[in-house]
């Protein structure tokens, strides 16, 4: 316990601190150079230190009391010197004054634990059952709040993850639909361009077909009006007959080729129109799907439908040869025999 002498010294310094003129110390009239803003929180710290020292010094050892008394005395000297200085000195030593006050307050913290311990023991915090119970309740409350906070964070994290998954699925869906839409538009454009080319080629081959059919019948009719030589010139008649057959076969072969090309282009036109109809329906079918798997299946089936057109009935399954019909040897032999003069 502190002796009375140390307690008296502490009281003497404390009374002297009370006697310091606060108005002269702060000097509000100096405006920006005043210490009102900077010194006010420091004065509050000094006041709390003095109160703690006065109240619990009797329960503290002489050495900590002497240290606090010495520090308070140094603070007193600084405050008295600053309050008694004229305006020019007041402003000049302003910075050093604040630095010294902060240094003394930091130095006081070395002896402060002795007074805090005396305050705790003096107020019975260590033995008070109510405080213990309150401590337990506080700990339990903090533990429960921490548990609730962790639970809330887990729930919010779960919701955030679910929302992120939904957002990712939506982005994937939009990307798939955009890609499908772009692909469909490109297919529609290509089929449209192909249809224009096929229409022009059909018209061209139709014109050639008409020309070749007319040419075939024209040649045939022309041969009717051109008579063959008499029996006396049977060799010439045989030659001209064979030549007519070859010419008709050649014209017929070309006509057959042109007609088959026309038929093939008409078949391709129907195939391309079928692909156009399927391509125009792809977007509607894809948009009606609810899951990516359904869209993939629909796209696969529609692509297969584009490729698989089926039989249009225009192209036969047998081999279409473009060569002319072979001249029957037996028929030519009979023709020569009939034209040969009998002896």
Q: Could you give the dihedral angle defined by the CA atoms of residues 195, 201, 206 and 211, in that order, rounded to the nearest 10 degrees?
A: 170
Give the span between the Cα atoms of 152 and 157, in whole angstroms. Answer: 8
pLDDT at 298: 66
Give the domain ranges of the chain.
Answer: 4-127, 180-339
Nearest to 108 by CA among 54, 59, 77, 64: 64
pLDDT at 129: 59
Q: Are the C-beta atoms of 247 and 216 separated by less than 8 Å?
A: no
Residues counted in the chain: 343
> pLDDT digits over 257-294, tens only?
998 888 888 888 888 787 777 777 766 666 666 666 76
> pLDDT digits over 115-143, tens only?
888 877 777 666 655 666 777 788 888 88
Give the span between the Cα atoms of 195 and 119, in whole angstroms. Answer: 101
pLDDT at 307: 59
Q: Which residues of the chain have pLDDT under 70?
A: 124-132, 171-184, 187, 228-234, 282-292, 294-296, 298-343
For 285, other C-beta atoms within 10 Å of its C-beta total 16
pLDDT at 309: 52
Collapse the DSSP code of 1 into the 3-class scheme (helix H, G, I; strand E, B; otherwise coil) and give the result. coil
Give the span between the Cα atoms of 272 and 268, in whole angstroms. Answer: 6
Q: Name the burial class of residue 79, with classes exposed (0-12), middle (13-18) and buried (19+) by CB atoms within 10 angstroms of its CB.
A: buried
Nearest to 90 by CA among 42, 39, 41, 30: 30
């Amino acid at each position: 316990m502190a002796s009375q002498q140390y307690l008296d010294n502490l009281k003497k310094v404390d009374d002297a601190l009370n006697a310091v003129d606060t108005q002269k110390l702060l000097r509000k009239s100096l405006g920006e150079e005043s210490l009102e803003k900077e010194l006010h929180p420091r004065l509050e710290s000094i006041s709390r230190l003095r109160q703690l020292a006065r109240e619990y010094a009797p329960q503290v050892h002489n050495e900590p009391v002497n240290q606090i008394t010495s520090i308070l005395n140094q603070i007193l000297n600084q405050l008295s010197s600053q309050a008694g200085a004229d305006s020019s000195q007041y402003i000049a030593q302003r910075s050093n004054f604040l630095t010294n006050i902060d240094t003394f307050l930091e130095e006081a913290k070395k002896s402060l634990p002795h007074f805090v311990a005396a305050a705790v023991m003096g107020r019975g915090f260590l033995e008070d059952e109510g405080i213990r119970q309150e401590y337990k309740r506080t700990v339990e409350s903090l533990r429960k709040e921490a548990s609730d906070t962790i639970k809330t964070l887990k729930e919010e994290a779960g919701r955030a993850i679910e929302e992120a998954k939904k957002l990712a699925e939506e982005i994937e869906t939009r990307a798939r639909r955009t890609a499908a839409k772009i692909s469909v538009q490109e297919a529609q454009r290509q089929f449209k361009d192909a249809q224009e080319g096929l229409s022009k080629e059909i018209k061209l081959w139709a014109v050639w077909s008409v020309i070749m059919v007319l040419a075939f019948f024209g040649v045939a009719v022309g041969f009717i009006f051109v008579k063959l030589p008499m029996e006396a010139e049977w060799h010439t008649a045989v030659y001209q007959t064979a030549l007519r057959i070859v010419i008709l076969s050649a014209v017929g072969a070309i006509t057959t080729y042109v007609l088959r090309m026309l038929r093939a282009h008409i078949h391709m036109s129907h195939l391309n129109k079928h692909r156009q109809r399927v391509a125009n329906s792809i977007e509607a079918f894809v948009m009606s799907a609810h899951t990516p798997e359904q869209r993939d299946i629909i796209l696969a089936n529609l692509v297969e439908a584009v490729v698989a057109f089926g039989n249009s009935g225009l192209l036969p399954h047998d081999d279409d040869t473009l060569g002319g019909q072979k001249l029957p040897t037996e028929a030519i032999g009979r023709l020569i025999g009939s034209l040969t003069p009998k002896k």
